[in-house]
Amino acid sequence: MPPSRASSQATSLRGVKLAIAGKGGSGKTSISGTLARVLARSGRNVLAIDGDSNPNLALTLGLPPGDMNDVPTLTRDLLRRSPGRDELTKSLEEICATHSVEAPDGVTLLVMANPQHAGTG
C-alpha cells in the first residue's frame, strides 16, 4: 500500500468506537483481543471493555491467568440511569484510573463484571 494511502487510513481511524457482538462461541473475544493488540502495537490508544458475562478478554490481551482475580470490575454506582438517559457518575479518565488494568501491549482494559459463580452476573 502506498504511504499516502496508509497514512490517510490511519488518520481516518481516530476516535473510532467499535463494538463486537455475535452468537456465543463465534470468536468475539478472540477477534476483539487481537484487534485491540494490533491497534495498540501500532501506536493507537486502545480502551477495551469486556462486557461478557464470562469475561476472558484479559487472557486474550495477554494478562496471566493468575492475575484474573486482581482485575477490578466496574461497579453499578458508576452509572446513573434515568428515563431516556444514562450517564456516567465519574469521567472516563477517573473510571480508568481506579478500575482499569494495563495489558502487555498497552491496551487499557475495563471489565464490566466478573461473576464468581452462577447467577451473580
| Number of independent structural domains in the chain | 1
- Please count the CA atoms within 13 angstroms of the CA of 14 that sit on its side-chain side: 4
Q: What pLDDT digit, counting tens, does each position of 91-113 carry? A: 889 988 999 999 999 999 999 87
- Band (1; pLDDT cuts 50, 70, 90): very low
Full domain range(s) for residue 52: 45-121
User: Is 112 domain-assigned?
Assistant: yes
pLDDT surpasses 70 at 34:
yes
| Assigned C-alpha cell, 39 | 491497534
- What's this model's pTM, rounded to 2 decimal places? 0.76
Residue 110: what are its φ and ψ, rounded to 5°?
A: -115, 135
